[in-house]
Amino acid sequence: MKLPTFSSSVLLLGGLAITSCSGGGGDAANEILIGEYGSLTGTTATFGISTKNGIDLAIDEVNAAGGVLGKQLRVIVEDDQGRPEEAQTVVTKLITRDEVVAILGEVASSRTLAAAPVAQSNGIPMITPSSTNPKITEVGDYIFRVCFIDPFQGFVMAKFAATTLKVRNVAILTDVKNDHSVGLTQVFTEEFGKLGGRIVARESYSEGDTDFSAQLTSLRARNPDAIYVPGYYTEVGLLARQARQLGLDVPLLGGDGWDSPRLTEIGGPAMNNSYFSSHYSPQDTSQLVRRFVGQYQERFGEVPDGLAALAYDAAKLLADAIARAGSAEPAAIRDAIAQTKGFVGVTGTISINAQRNADKAATVVRVAGGKLEFVETIRQ
Ligand code: PHE
């Protein structure tokens, strides 16, 4: 399915990405090159665009303050179009052609999982701002993340469903092409079961699908109190509309993959009365978050979503690690990232644990009247 609203700006971004990449190597005396890869186009385009915005804001701040080790940071961006094979190809290019010393990305777990082995085998540190599937950092000692993982996020929604919403019979709709969705389905099923809930139906779809009526009709027959849909925003928005048309008015529940300004544009009022787990809230009143939201809004004209916030933190943390390493050698940067403790970010305080993950709190967000509202914070 095509999403016309994005076409022109996205094509432009794609073009810029390609031209800014030719040449490679960079000006080693004055610059430190960092790679970034993400979905600047495709059905998850807001993931890549928000991430790019967050990284740009962070890197410009670092450079304006004098850069790192007396050099400016330069980010080379590649569009993987939301495809795992392409993610692997562009990460190979960033490493072998551009000779970046570290990589930021991806958002979607399936794409990060495809590309992480390339970074690992080449000894280039990679930080994913937002991929939550546990297998990612298991790829090896060069792979890190600054977000929580799906076992926690699945627990958060199961607990919220059972204790706050007090629902008992839940149906699940899984994107079977998406490692993140498959993982969350498993965790939610286990955790909701432990809390006395029942999974009364399961159906599946694949990223890119546009017609969910068969699955929804079959779920409807089991009379669920809520439907857990741990997928990405484009499909979730579309299926929410179809669910409501079929008379399925129960709350929809989801994970961080819902987090996009496009969710309510695509889903419209059908998204109301739905909840998802997320990484931060732009309504947070701390000074740090208020400053970030203000600067982001001023520059990009919209409220930063969780991806923009995580990307900002990942880029700042990387710059901090390079400074602490005292060297732009990939191995030294790796060690400094691994030693990160108490880094204060807009998504919370980040300490990298022994598994190269970050233990952080999650927020529950409610969709109401076309807006995202903060409901509560759930800690580990
Ligand atoms: N956690 C999702 C994944 O691993 C990606 C995501 C993070 C999407 C945050 C939106 C917001 O696939």
Contact present, 112 and 47 (Cβ < 8 Å): no
Closest CA to ligand 1's atom 4: 131
pLDDT at 2: 36
Pocket test for ligand 1, best of 107, 259, 305 (most atoms within 8 A of CB): 107
For strands 343-345 and 348-350, give the pairing. antiparallel
pLDDT at 10: 39
Pocket test for ligand 1, best of 80, 113, 131, 178 (most atoms within 8 A of CB): 131
- How much distance in Å is there from the Cα of 230 to the middle of ligand 1? 10
Q: What are phi and psi of 277, to 5 degrees?
A: -90, 140
pLDDT at 139: 98
262 lines ligand 1 (CB under 6 A): no
Report the alpha-carbon distance of residue 290 to residue 2 in Å, rounded.
Answer: 35
Q: Which two tokens stand for residue 242?
A: 């179809």
Spatial neighbors of 365 by CB under 8 A, at least 6 apart, are 259, 275, 276, 277, 278, 281, 372, 373, 374, 375
113 lines ligand 1 (CB under 6 A): no
- How much distance in Å is there from the Cα of 169 to the middle of ligand 1? 26
Contact present, 78 and 102 (Cβ < 8 Å): no
130 lines ligand 1 (CB under 6 A): yes
Task: Give me the tens of pLDDT residue by residue for the chain, a chain 380 residues long.
Answer: 333 333 333 344 433 444 344 345 568 789 999 999 999 999 999 999 999 999 999 999 999 999 999 999 999 999 999 999 999 999 999 999 999 999 999 999 999 999 999 999 999 999 999 999 999 999 999 999 999 999 999 999 999 999 999 999 999 999 999 999 999 999 999 999 999 999 999 999 999 999 999 999 999 999 999 999 999 999 999 999 999 999 999 999 999 999 999 999 999 999 999 999 999 999 888 999 999 999 999 999 999 999 999 999 999 999 999 999 999 999 999 999 999 999 999 999 999 999 999 999 999 999 999 899 999 999 87
**Atom number of ligand 1 nearest to Cα 153:** 1
How many other β-carbons are positioned within 10 Å of the β-carbon of residue 196? 9
pLDDT at 19: 38
305 lines ligand 1 (CB under 6 A): no
pLDDT at 25: 56
pLDDT at 29: 81
Report the alpha-carbon distance of residue 317 to residue 323 in Å, rounded.
Answer: 10
Report the alpha-carbon distance of residue 112 to residue 6 in Å, rounded.
Answer: 23
109 lines ligand 1 (CB under 6 A): yes
Q: Which of 104, 162, 94 is closest to 129 using CA atoms?
A: 104
Q: Is the pTM of this model over 0.75?
A: yes
Domains and CATH numbers, the chain: 17-148+285-360 (3.40.50.2300), 150-278 (3.40.50.2300)
131 lines ligand 1 (CB under 6 A): yes
